[in-house]
Amino acid sequence: MSKPFEKPSILIIDDTPDSITILNQILQQEYRVLFALNGSKGLSIARQQKPDLILLDVSMPEMDGYQVCRELKANPDTRDIPVIFVTARDQDDDHEMGFRLGAVDYLTKPVRPSTVKVRVKNQLQLRRSEELILHQALYDSLTNLPNRSLSMDRLRYAITNDSRDLLKTALLFIDLDNFKKINDTLGHDAGDQLLKETAARLNRCVRRGDTVGRLGGDEFIIILSALEHTVDAKLVADNIMRLFAKPVKISHMELLITVSIGISFSPDDSRDYKQLLVNADTAMYQSKQSGRNNYHLFNGEMNQTVMRRMTLENHLHHALEKNEFCVYYQPLIETTSRNIIGAEALIRWDNPQLGRVSPDEFIGIAEQIGIIEQLGVYVLQQACHFFKDLTGSDGQPLTIAVNVSPQQFRQNHLPDLVDNILKETGLEPEQLELEVTEGLLLGSQSNIKDALLALRQLGVHFSMDDFGTGYSSLSYLREFPFSIIKIDRSFISDLQNKPEDQVLVTAAIAMAHALDMKVIAEGVETEFQLQFLKEKQCDICQGYLFSKPVDGDNFKQLLTQQEK
Ligand code: C2E
Ligand code: MG
Ligand code: MG
């Protein structure tokens, strides 16, 4: 078929040299004219040269025009070439026969030059628009890559072909990292340019015959066919990573773009093209999870973790509006008196389908999908409101400890937010204790220090949660306004059998006291642990020995029980 700017080609099949000469004279100025003097020669030229149109005589010796037309239409390579019959036969039956065989038009000899020209031109124009429509239906207009539907077609075809030859087909699922951010900050034009550049780079990584397709958005695929080893696909992935290491120039800026890739293989992972796509997507997701800018080959276990994560993520988005959260309270116990002096607020998520999901599992996801701020506000409001009127056995107000995740500090208004909640609920700032982990302080950005100081100024206290599991840097304790450290559960649970834990706990308590801070031991489950902590003058204990986290009503009950 002719390329744009090339003259369209027309094949004339006719056994009369005179007819060919006449038609050639009419057409040769505008078209590249090919000819054949019999049917079988005509078929072979049609197959090899794929002309844009065929003018076909009907009465020919050996193979007549009808038979030639039948054979053209039966071959996938030639079936779409429009055929116009040119013949001296002018009966209705002949016309009908011609059209039934798939001809698009019918010219009667002797031909008039103007008629031939007009009819040929019309058919070619029609063909062009058909091709254009087909192209639009199968190719992505921005990148000109095969779109989802054509890509899937090619994938199906490759899987079938390769499995017949006992070879592998690899599917690479490629997703740009942070595309949304670029689109949002630099605008859609920049986003479009980036997608085009991505298409160009991906095309450079494959052999002829492999497919690069765009599924939509910033999702691309590559189909590698006829592979002998899985390592061949890894080489392509390595190549992609290398190509993307070079910055992309967009709107006068040099941007570093990375991609996350997942790879699956047929027949190893599945012979079904849809499943293969899901598997490659799953592996891609794994790449995103492990820090982006890398690739993973699919494996069966991935499915479960990723599926679980995706399910949690989906439900988590709506959990707050569906009222699926509540706050539990775990008593904080003064070691010497065994009195309840406060509680830690711990969020609970009950989903109708998933049941109760542990915060250890969903807090991290909530942070990643950006809903931790809303969750944080919810817990703070609930906890402050609930503790407003509660008092301990001695009539003293109780402390309420609330976990705050580093992301809640990112937006600069945390101090105002806490201040507002305190005012709304009427809780005294001194009653509120915010638990943060060391991760927050890494890098010691000044805005975080400012936020901690502003909150401290309000009267709110800070405790360092999970002490001992991170850097346990003394300088953090000095530099930031902490009042309390919470020794992590992992050092308490084996206290009886692990002398090294005993040493650490003892040292941590001594250090905290030297810095004028109090100590809470987490996860106290046995009398031995309590005894040990008492001896070392640990101020406060928290753990199942006293109570598991309980809902508000049960917490109130614990308070009344202790009054008796
Ligand atoms: P964390 O802040 O260190 O909370 C203590 C965890 O230890 C709680 O787990 C508590 O139920 C558990 N625990 C307390 N005593 C014992 C014990 O004696 N034995 C054992 N085996 N476990 C004990 P939970 O409620 O599952 O929370 C897990 C983590 O999730 C918390 O660790 C905290 O980091 C996070 N989290 C919980 N609620 C919130 C919240 O509202 N906001 C934020 N940002 N994180 C939260
Ligand atoms: Mg905590
Ligand atoms: Mg903790």
Express each pLDDT in 131-183 by its tens digit.
888 888 899 999 999 999 999 999 999 999 999 999 999 999 999 988 887 88
pTM: 0.63
Q: Which CATH number fits domain 309-563: 3.40.50.720, 3.20.20.450, 2.115.10.20, 2.130.10.10?
A: 3.20.20.450
Residue located via tokens 């993973």: 296
Q: Are domains 148-300 and 309-563 of this chain identical in fold?
A: no
pLDDT band at 290 (very low <50, low <70, confident <90, very high): confident
Find the ligand nearest to 466 CA: 3
| Distance, CA of 58 to CA of 84 (rounded, Å) | 10
Q: Are 264 and 298 in contact (CB under 8 A)?
A: yes
| Per-residue pLDDT reduced to its tens digit, 77-87 | 899 999 999 98
For 391, which DSSP code?
B
**pLDDT exceeds cutoff 80 at 443:** no
Residue 278's SS3 state is helix
Can you give the pLDDT at residue 11? Answer: 97
More confident residue, 512 or 303: 512
Quote the pLDDT of residue 528.
Answer: 97
HEC-encoded secondary structure of 195-223: HHHHHHHHHHCCCCCCEEEEEECCEEEEE
Distance 560 CA to ligand 3 centre (A): 26
Question: Ligand 1: which atom is nearest the Cα of residue 545?
Answer: 18
Angle between helices 113-138 and 148-164 (to 10 degrees): 90
First to last CA, the chain: 96
Average pLDDT over the chain, rounded to whole?
92
Among the ranges given (104-113, 231-240, 314-323, 372-381), the one the predictor scored with the smallest mean pLDDT:
104-113
**Ligand 1, CB cutoff 6 Å, lining residues:** 330, 346-347, 358-360, 363, 379, 403, 405, 435, 465-466, 489, 522-525, 542-544, 549
DSSP single-letter state for residue 273: H
Report the range out of 88-97, 242-251, 315-324 with the highest average pLDDT.
315-324
Mean pLDDT lowest among 9-13, 166-170, 255-259, 442-446 = 442-446
Mark 102-137 as b/e (b = at least 16 C-beta within 10 Å).
Answer: ebbbbbebebeeeebbebbeebbeebeeeeeeeeee
Least confident of 95-99, 105-109, 475-479, 552-556: 475-479
pLDDT over 90 (residue 252): no
Residue ranges per structural domain of the chain: 9-138, 148-300, 309-563
- 398-424 mean pLDDT: 92
Asked if 222 and 199 touch (Cβ cutoff 8 Å), the reply is no
CB 484 within 8 A of CB 461: yes
Scanning the structure block, which residue is given the tokens 């000899």? 109
Tens-digit pLDDT profile for residues 346-377: 999 999 999 999 999 999 899 888 899 999 99
CB atoms within 10 A of CB 317: 14
9-138: which CATH topology?
A: Rossmann fold (3.40.50)
170 CA distance to ligand 2 middle (Å): 46
Residue 81 φ/ψ, nearest 5 degrees: -75, 125
Question: What gap in Å lies between CA 431 and CA 302, rounded to an integer?
Answer: 45
Q: How far is the CA of 358 from the centre of ligand 1 (A)?
A: 9
Read off the pLDDT of each residue in 259-282 and give the average, rounded to a whole number: 95
Mean pLDDT of 468-476: 71
Probe target for ligand 1 pocket from 320, 400, 403, 487, with the most ligand atoms within 8 Å of CB: 403
Which of 3.40.50.720, 3.40.50.300, 3.30.360.10, 3.30.70.270 is the CATH number of 148-300? 3.30.70.270
Please identify which residue in the block is written with the tokens 């919810």.
378
Give residue 44's pLDDT band: very low, low, confident or very high (50, 70, 90): very high
Compute CA distances 36 → 45, 53, 71, 450, whole Å. 8, 14, 16, 88
| Per-residue exposure over 466-494, b if at least 16 CB sit within 10 Å of its own CB, e if not | bbbebebeeebbeebebbbbbbbbebbbe
Which residue shows structure tokens 């029980």?
561
pLDDT for 436: 92
- Please tell me the least confidently modeled range out of 150-159, 220-229, 299-308: 299-308
Chain centroid, CA 461 distance in Å: 39
Ligand 2 centre to CA of 403 (Å) is 5
Predicted pLDDT of residue 209: 86
Query: How many C-beta atoms surround the C-beta of residue 81 within 10 A?
Result: 19
pLDDT band at 4 (very low <50, low <70, confident <90, very high): low
Tens digit of each residue's pLDDT (9 = 90 or more) over 501-529? 999 999 999 989 988 999 999 999 999 99
**DSSP per residue, 88-122:** S---HHHHHHHHHTT-SEEEESSPPHHHHHHHHHH
